[in-house]
Chains A and B, each alone.
Chain A
Amino acid sequence: MLTVADLGIVREVKFDGDQPTVVITPTYSGCPAMNEIEQNILQKLKAEGVENAKVKTVLHPAWTTDWMTEEGKRKLKEYGIAPPEGSSADKSVLFGKPKQVQCPHCGSKNTQMVSQFGSTACKALHKCLDCQEPFDYFKCI
């Protein structure tokens, strides 16, 4: 299972005495899952016997795919979503040079971007020119 920690959404857990505060940050400004993520964290902690936990959302520093763990990238790929390639510091993609993204289904690098905007804000839509399957690519930001 891909976790919010794998994605780098959980930034840190702070303790004030025995009260934990889980600090999270949104991937995209309009991410509709933030509320759900917050509720799930609180529920999970409650189920584990932590009743007094708090969740705090911070904007800065802005989330980047660089924070995604290797484990997280592997899980994404297994699920059929191509993980972000390389570092967010490489802005070439923003100037019309799409990265060569590997197809998560057959492993081919002979792929093409269909649209920079996919089924959710954080993904782009690609297709594989070898196995012909469409796939989501987790945008590198």
Chain B
Amino acid sequence: MEYTLRLGDNALILGQRLAEWCGHGPILEQDIALSNIALDHLGQARMLMNYAAKQKEDGSTEDDIAFKRDIFDYHNLLLVERENGDWGKTVMRQFLFDTYNYFFYTQLLKSKDAKLRDIAHKAIKEITYHAQWSAEWVIRLGDGTEESHQRVQDSLNDLWEYTGEMFTMDAVDEKMVAEGIGVDLNPIKDLWYEKVAEILDMATLQQPEDGWMQSGGKQGEHSEYLGYVLAEMQHLPRMYPEASW
């Protein structure tokens, strides 16, 4: 179940982050694009949380999973909870994650877990569009004006230390890989580095040196940002537990 939650939490928290842009995008088309992508992430989160709730076998629902867990029970990568910042930072965060997500879900298509496999088949179609969209924007901003280049380079430098966690295998990953359910992150890492280098090169951006990498999100140790995300997302169902529409 924890493995399912990790995937679901990545989708939910990133979807919630992107939803903050709704009504604030730089132009209408891109506002709509981000809302679309946010909706895809939320849809994927629902499928995964619905599955996690069933795996829990205690009558929990997808809403319980999303709204009744606190920070330490969330298992998303630190990268997805990072603040939106400016447009360039949101785009860069999305690119770093989408590229990972694309290779990850491509492998998840082969999972021995039928439900995860079905979800992957559904999600990969959407993720492919996301990955293309964010790569295009990284190129446009990186190879754009001096200002856009500098901003997106700064974002890349800021976010780089959160990329290491994507490829760090812990006991949960090892177990899931051994059972043929999960994805081996080592080959994903190579594919990711290759693709990222290719796009950054086209974007005339400088790939940062690998230094010390942040970790802990998958195990429930988060940055202060996640508390604010959850506070906003969970406020209504926690204040009015019976609310429905």
Contacts and interface: CB of A to CB of B under 8 A. Distances in A.
Interface of A: 26, 28-32, 59-63, 94-96, 114-121, 125, 139, 141
B132 A116 contact: yes
The dominant DSSP class at the B interface is helix
B121 A62 contact: yes
B133 A117 contact: yes
A88 to B, nearest CB: 8
B214 to A, nearest CB: 29
Interface of B: 29-30, 32-33, 35-37, 39-44, 46-47, 114, 117-119, 121-123, 125-126, 128-129, 132-133, 136
B194 to A, nearest CB: 16
Given A94-B129, A119-B32, A121-B36, A29 B121 contact: no
A28 B32 contact: no
Contacts of A26: 43, 122
Given A94-B128, A117-B36, A117-B133, A29 B29 contact: no
12 contacts: A26-B43, A29-B40, A29-B44, A30-B42, A59-B119, A60-B117, A60-B118, A96-B132, A115-B29, A117-B133, A121-B36, A121-B40
A29 B128 contact: no
A63 B145 CA distance: 41
A28 B119 CA distance: 11
Nearest to B38: A30
B129 A28 contact: no
Nearest to B125: A141
A92 B146 CA distance: 32
A141 to B, nearest CB: 5
Contacts of A63: 122
